[in-house]
Structure 1
Amino acid sequence: MKRPERGIAAAFGVTVLGAVMAAASYVAGADRLLLGLGFALGFAGLAAGFVLWAATLLPQGPYVEEREPMVSPPGEREALEAEYDRPAGRLPRRMLALALGTFGLAGVFPVRSLIVHGPSPSVALATTAWRDGVRLVDQDGRPVRAADVTPGTMVTAFPEGHLDTGDSAAVVLRVDPAKLRLPAGRERWTVDGVVAFSKLCTHAGCPVGQYVAPAQQLVCPCHQSVFDVLRGAEPMSGPAARSLPQLPLRLDGDGVLVAAGDFPEPVGAGYWRPM
């Protein structure tokens, strides 16, 4: 085999290795850097192989035809056919077929993610980690008891086992139950004046981190949206147009606050508008 053909075969071999690396990285869930490196090697090998093929195996010009086309003698035609059919010339073609096949197969793996995927975005955005019976815990993982929530204070709570789930954070407050004016159907969502709302502002998703106890209002520091706690955290001023979703609460046998279900509406910035 001639030297140029070995170079072309080696270049397409690099494409095969790159395709195998990309496929293995994707299946193993490895660093995306390895996935990108695999595809980079694959494309680089194809490019180098095609360049070498064009530069060494294809006829090189320029050509000037000084006479009318004539039929080549049988001997010249046989020599040309023998040149194209010689076994050594088939290796680059075989390596090209192998390189394109493996590289195309590696490309199927990312495409698979478009077909076989996780939960629908509409479902994922509409639900959080809260479920009926999930205990409320603080940022250190300690259970939040109703007695821990005193008037005038605000406790940030998370679903037990999901401290790193940002869309599930809730603010827990205690107010005078006689002053609550919650929407119809939420009379049993509180525990002796203890109420919980999503901590994500419905304007842009910032954390609602301020509680004005005398006015019983929650304030988002990002754009100054104000929510009325006594009326189900409905917006009073600022750019927010939706109430903070309320988390239904109940007590377990140990006096720990637990969720009675998930938020009834999507939390955070309003990507939807009920009709």
Structure 2
Amino acid sequence: MAGPEGGGVSRRTPSKSERAASRRIAAAFLVSAAGAVGFAVTYGLNGGTQWEGVCLAVAFAGLAVGLAVWSRRLVPVGGYVEEHEGFVPPPAEQAMTAAVFRAPESPTRRWGLLAALGFALTALGVAALFPLRSLLPWDRQRPTRSLKDTPWGPGVRLVDDQGRPLRPDDVPADTMVAVFPEGRIDVGDAPAFAVRLNPERFIRHPAGGHLGGLVVWSLLCTHAGCPVRLYLKGAGRVLCPCHQSSFDLLAGARPIAGPAARPLPGLPIEVGPDGFLRATGDFTAPPGAGFWSRP
């Protein structure tokens, strides 16, 4: 920085390396803003968490690169030691300080870079507001509502794992048969099982009712949502092989062993005019593991 002329401070032209660094910084901030915009668009279009993560990574990486290059290439660095000779700096040092904050190459005067940084930070801030949409009902189903509703409903036929509709005679006595809602075999919270028991042995009436001892319950354990696929013939009990929860079907499918705390939800059924088994409603309780409003 040249000495003062008539009390003023001379200015120097930024070097070639400084101009190149400024361009890299501006480009990095623009990339950061593009990543933030990409995150907002991807989130709004439900593009998937993988692409949302990629966009956020690009946004923060661009911001980090820009700030790193700025601090290493444009901000004066180094250690300086001087003797303390008083609280008022000499005129030469005052002129030097003024030059740092007023010269065109000063970081505080690089308005283009500051504008790019502000744009990147603003884009990131706006993008961070988009996930708040998930906390509002607006045009989508509430999370707790979707956890309580399943594809079962009045008139839905019961089918096996091959999609074949089932009649009451397709469920042998004291045998467990996996059943699904017709056309929705792949839905995770829909699997159920049908079993034919002796109604005279019921200690507690099944929550979903029964048809001459034919009862349907959710296949998902109420502990962690694992399938209760082990049936103890003659005992009227089902067992979850994952964590050893046991349910007594003769007592309303209540848990009698293991970590499960709630009975298996029942599914009300009837025989339709075509002779096939049909549901008359949804499960008597949300199937599977508990959640924040249902321990």
TM range (shorter): 0.7 to 0.9
Q: 1:71 to 1:111 in 2, by over 3 A?
A: farther
Contact 1:203 1:270 in 2 (8 A): yes
Q: 1:48 to 1:219 in 2, by over 3 A?
A: closer
Distance in 1 separating the partners of 2:51 and 2:228: 40
Q: Which of residues 152, 155, 161 is equivalent to 1:139?
A: 161
Distance in 1 separating the partners of 2:102 and 2:254: 86
Letter in 1 for 2:54: L
Q: 1:194 to 1:90 in 2, by over 3 A?
A: same
> Could you tell me the TM-score, scaled by structure 2's length?
0.74
> Could you tell me the TM-score, scaled by structure 1's length?
0.79
Letter in 2 for 1:25: T
Distance in 2 separating the partners of 1:173 and 1:244: 13
Which residues of 2 match residues 143-222 of structure 1 at below 5 A? 143-183=165-205, 189-222=209-242
Letter in 2 for 1:175: L
- Residue 168 of structure 1: SS of its match in structure 2? coil
Q: 1:119 to 1:141 in 2, by over 3 A?
A: same
Gaps of 5+ in 2: 1-13
Report how far residue 253 of structure 1 moved.
Answer: 1.0
What do residues 103-152 of structure 1 show as CA deviations (whole Å, max 9, x unaligned)? 22222223433445854454444443322222111112221111211213
Contact 2:207 2:265 in 1 (8 A): no
Report how far residue 245 of structure 1 moved.
Answer: 2.1
Structure-1 residue corresponding to 2:126:
105
What do residues 55-85 of structure 1 show as CA deviations (whole Å, max 9, x unaligned)? 3333444445666523469998997776249
Q: 1:259 to 1:38 in 2, by over 3 A?
A: same
Structure-2 residue corresponding to 1:35:
52
- Residue 40 of structure 2: SS of its match in structure 1? helix
Q: 1:13 to 1:242 in 2, by over 3 A?
A: closer
Contact 1:219 1:226 in 2 (8 A): yes
Structure-1 residue corresponding to 2:269:
249
Distance in 2 separating the partners of 1:37 and 1:241: 40
Report how far residue 26 of structure 1 moved.
Answer: 2.4
Structure-2 residue corresponding to 1:45:
62
Distance in 1 separating the partners of 2:169 and 2:128: 57
Corresponding position: 1:261 with 2:278: no
Report how far residue 99 of structure 1 moved.
Answer: 1.7
Contact 2:270 2:278 in 1 (8 A): yes
- Residue 221 of structure 2: SS of its match in structure 1? coil
Contact 2:180 2:192 in 1 (8 A): yes
Distance in 1 separating the partners of 2:175 and 2:76: 84
Distance in 2 separating the partners of 1:221 and 1:30: 36
Distance in 1 separating the partners of 2:293 and 2:32: 49
Letter in 2 for 1:196: V
Distance in 2 separating the partners of 1:205 and 1:74: 72
- Residue 211 of structure 2: SS of its match in structure 1? coil
Residue identity (%): 43
Contact 2:206 2:215 in 1 (8 A): no
Structure-2 residue corresponding to 1:14:
31
Aligned-pair Cα RMSD in Å: 3.6
Letter in 2 for 1:102: A
Distance in 2 separating the partners of 1:34 and 1:212: 47
Structure-1 residue corresponding to 2:112:
91
Report how far residue 25 of structure 1 moved.
Answer: 2.7
* Structure in which a larger fraction of residues adopt helix: 1
- Residue 156 of structure 1: SS of its match in structure 2? strand
Q: 1:116 to 1:266 in 2, by over 3 A?
A: closer
Q: 1:9 to 1:268 in 2, by over 3 A?
A: closer
